[in-house]
Amino acid sequence: MPAVGGIGPGTGKDYPGNLTPFVTVTCIVAAMGGLIFGYDIGISGGVTTMTPFLQKFFRSVWEKKEADKSKNQYCQYDSPTLTMFTSSLYLAALLSSIVASVVTRKLGRKLSMLFGGLLFFAGALINGFAKAVWMLIVGRMLLGFGIGFANQSVPLYLSEMAPYRFRGALNIGFQLSIAIGILIANVLNYFFAKIKGGWGWRLSLGGAMVPALIITVGSLVLPDTPNSLIERGQTEEAKANLRRIRGVDDVDEEFKDLVAASETSKLVEHPWRNLLKRKYRPHLTVAILIPFFQQLTGINVIMFYAPVLFSTIGFKDDAALMSAVITGVVNVGATVVSIYGVDKWGRRFLFLEGGVQMLICQAVVAACIGAKFGTSGNPGDLPKWYAIVVVLFICIYVAGFAWSWGPLGWLVPSEIFPLEIRSAAQSITVSVNMLFTFLVAQVFLTMLCHLKFGLFLFFAFFVITMSIFIYYFLPETKSIPIEEMNQVWKSHWYWSRFVEGLDYPNGAMEMGKGGQDVKEV
């Protein structure tokens, strides 16, 4: 039986190409598409603890919070409209990623990013000027549409542009800008919350226009990826582009493989239906399970609700916002570690190490909160050391996520799909991610109210499950050219039975043998 990690030897190909300044700058600009997503994640949680915001839009939550001061802390924020505010965005993103998959395939990755930027801008504008709850919700839906487009196109763009040896690092630029977006939002919330007159929340929400402009302008100046140009018939331009990106003249071998992959891809009329074929079973499984598990780490409980959570465990409003800033810094720092390590240590190592780290922290946090709050939710006076221990372990947990499931949750799907199903499969990844982000956001406050400290154990259970999945079912994809990924499935102890007979690039050989298999959809 081959090793559970999958591919041992390389695929025998070694495309020439360097980490040129051109590709580096291009990827940095594209990665900024993550800013809009991150900014929003960070802003929502903080805004919902700002008293003037609650008084204006969610008065009942504020009244309940005031009245409940000394009683059950677990339930003080439990309100369906408040959660709808946070989570409506993710439903919109889910829907738009499906439309975005067609745009990304037919019109290119770049145009998808442009749409993302424009829609997000419109949403931020409406939110900044909101006068009623419906405006907030409409604004958030537009933000969601924008995020759907950006998350669909940016990870694919990065994985296609990067020389394969640095693909991990360049792709994680996306996650880094998500983390930076979250941090900036947390810092701004901290200051805007102090603005006298209570309109700071308008700045927080309207401020989303800035990252929206960055990605909009960025998408206008970026080149399209060679893969996408070939896919749309612009082969000459694609070759010139590839030379420029790789910084060498001899790009023939890689170019030939890209064209072959594109030929295969053209024969597929229904990428969605095609995805259901047996030979794509490993891809489909990863497209669904990786984002599902990423959200079931429970990370967004911290990201959306850190201020709420910290004030639940007894921090004053100000201290709660400050703690969110601290977790934000840890998130950014740990993402940098993964940029350094992902192409050296591999994806599997990071996934497994991060899993163990998160598990330990979830157990400790559950024990700490359980010990003080019990099931009544009434802690009495909380000593300072206690708050420090909880924040410390939440930080270690965030670090574990930020160098494993955070970046890899976007990187791994974007690098394993063959071109003919790439856009469709990526939109499944985005949709599943958004669906479970929505569900966690939607039910978290209610779950906290009912499961109490057991909530952390609920997520811990999933962390164990996902680590087992990685150990047995996820092959290592480090240092494998993207158009040759089939090799990793072919040598995997379990998945090989699904992809047998295929050869790289992406089934081109199989096509040579008849092509029928791809055509009959």
Chain residues that interact with ligand BGC, rule: CB under 6 A: 41, 175, 178-179, 182, 294, 299-300, 303, 331, 406, 409-410, 433, 437
Give whichever of 353 and 517 is closer to ligand BGC, judged by the CB atom.
353
Nearest residue to 168 (alpha-carbon basis) of 423, 466, 403: 403
CA dist 388 → 69, 325, 368, 408 (Å)? 22, 14, 11, 29
Q: Cβ-count burial of 132 within 10 angstroms (0-12 exposed, 13-18 middle, 19+ buried)?
A: exposed
Give whichever of 104 and 437 is closer to ligand BGC, judged by the CB atom.
437
Nearest residue to 467 (alpha-carbon basis) of 417, 384, 411, 401: 401
**For residues 406 and 413, what is the distance between their CA atoms, to the nearest angstrom?**
12
User: CB of 209: closest distance to ligand BGC in angstroms?
Assistant: 21
User: CB of 158: closest distance to ligand BGC in angstroms?
Assistant: 14
User: CB of 309: closest distance to ligand BGC in angstroms?
Assistant: 14
User: CB of 327: closest distance to ligand BGC in angstroms?
Assistant: 10
Give whichever of 408 and 502 is closer to ligand BGC, judged by the CB atom.
408
Hunting for tokens 């977006």 — which residue is that? 181
Sign, CA dihedral 160-521-152-291, equals: negative
Give whichever of 38 and 271 is closer to ligand BGC, judged by the CB atom.
38
The CA angle 387-301-32, to the nearest 5 degrees, is: 110
Question: Which tokens go with 289?
Answer: 């399970």
Give whichever of 460 and 502 is closer to ligand BGC, judged by the CB atom.
460
Find all residues with CB under 8 Å of 399, minimum gap 6, and list them: 330, 331, 333, 334, 337, 357
Element (H, E) at 125: helix 109-128
Give whichever of 37 and 74 is closer to ligand BGC, judged by the CB atom.
37
Give whichever of 304 and 498 is closer to ligand BGC, judged by the CB atom.
304
Hunting for tokens 């559950």 — which residue is that? 366
CA dist 239 → 275, 328, 342 (Å)? 29, 41, 28
User: CB of 97: closest distance to ligand BGC in angstroms?
Assistant: 13
Give whichever of 292 and 345 is closer to ligand BGC, judged by the CB atom.
292
Question: Which tokens go with 451?
Answer: 């499961």
| Per-residue exposure over 177-187, b if at least 16 CB sit within 10 Å of its own CB, e if not | bbbbbbbbbbb
User: CB of 31: closest distance to ligand BGC in angstroms?
Assistant: 13
Task: Let me know how long the chain is.
Answer: 521
SS3 491: coil
Question: Which tokens go with 96?
Answer: 């738009």
User: CB of 175: closest distance to ligand BGC in angstroms?
Assistant: 5
Specify the DSSP class assigned to residue 335. Answer: H
Backbone angles phi, psi at 76, to 5 degrees: -65, -25
Give whichever of 357 and 437 is closer to ligand BGC, judged by the CB atom.
437
User: CB of 138: closest distance to ligand BGC in angstroms?
Assistant: 23
User: CB of 471: closest distance to ligand BGC in angstroms?
Assistant: 21
